[in-house]
Each structure stands twice: as structure tokens, then as C-alpha cells.
Amino acid sequence: MEAQIDEILKKNQLSVTGSRKRILELFLMSNGALAHGDIEKKTGEKFDRVTVYRTLQTFLEKGIIHSIPTSDNSVLYALCKDDCTEGHHHDNHVHFICNKCGKTICLADVTVPEIKIPGGFLPQDYQMVVTGLCAECR
């Protein structure tokens, strides 16, 4: 794991620092998505709030994590697959949010269907969020 973290950071030309290692570790350990608040709680007093904001911003720009849309004024983040890069993301998978436990899961195997859109629109990215009950909660 330690090695994996280093590898991810170096591959993205980021210097290996305490906060980046810790936050990346949180993503690797968690099987769901994380909100800014989650990370702040889990890192405790270890890092400044501002550092968490800036680290997530950096990860997002580098394509290490991707954001997941929600309807409740929060943004969730999850690890991208290996082949995501700064410009081009490949995280066109469906996300599942459990209405009971709140856990958000990347359904990496479920691809978002590219539907037809009438009118003059030029679609570039498709996102799909499914809410319901997860396996543990149903």
C-alpha cells in the first residue's frame, strides 16, 4: 500500500508529502466515495482544513480522483481507475448512493449509456446516479 501510494503520486509528478499520502490512503482503504467532511474528520487534527481542500483540488486536476454529483449540496470524491489522466477521464461508470446508510459506491462495471439527445445539443459527458438501498441495507 505504501508503495502503491508513492507510485500514484510520482506518476502524477506530485511531491510525496504527509497529507497527500494520508488522504490517498483513505481513498484506497475506503470502498466508497468520500466527502470533504469525511476526510477532515478522519485525518483529525493532523492536517489543516485548507490543506485538505488544496489536496483534493490537486488530485482532481491530476485525474487521481473524480467527483460524483449529488442533489444535496455536497460533493463526493472517489479514486479514478489507473488509466485516467489530467485531460481525459475514463470514469464513465454509474454511481450508487444508498438512501439508508448514505454510502456511495462506484459501479465500475456499469457503463453510463450514451443516450440520444434531440435538439442542437452537443453532449460531451454523461453521468448517472442511482439511489436506493445497498446490499447491506436492503
Selected binder of Mn ion within 8, 78, 94, 97 (CB under 5 A): 78
Which one, 34 or 106, has the nearer CB to Mn ion?
106
Type and span of the H or E element at 61? helix 49-62
Q: Least distance to DNA from the beta carbon of 33, Å?
A: 14
C-alpha to C-alpha distance for 87 and 39, rounded to whole angstroms? 25
Phi, psi (degrees; rounded to nearest 5) at 57:
-60, -45
| Binding footprint of DNA on the chain (CB under 7 A) | 14-20, 36-37, 46-51, 53-55, 58, 73-75
Interaction between residue 129 and Zn ion (CB under 5 A): no
Site for its own copies in 101-130 (CB under 8 A): 107, 109-110, 112-113, 115-130
Q: Least distance to Zn ion from the beta carbon of 133, Å?
A: 6
Interaction between residue 117 and Zn ion (CB under 5 A): no
What are the angstrom distances between the C-alpha of 97 and each of 15, 63, 77, 84, 112? 33, 22, 13, 23, 15
Q: Which three cell numbers stand for residue 86?
A: 489530467
C-alpha to C-alpha distance for 14 and 126, rounded to whole angstroms? 29
Residue numbering of the annotated binding site for Fe cation: 89, 91
| Contact residues: its own copies, CB under 8 A | 67-75, 94, 96, 99, 107, 109-110, 112-113, 115-135, 138
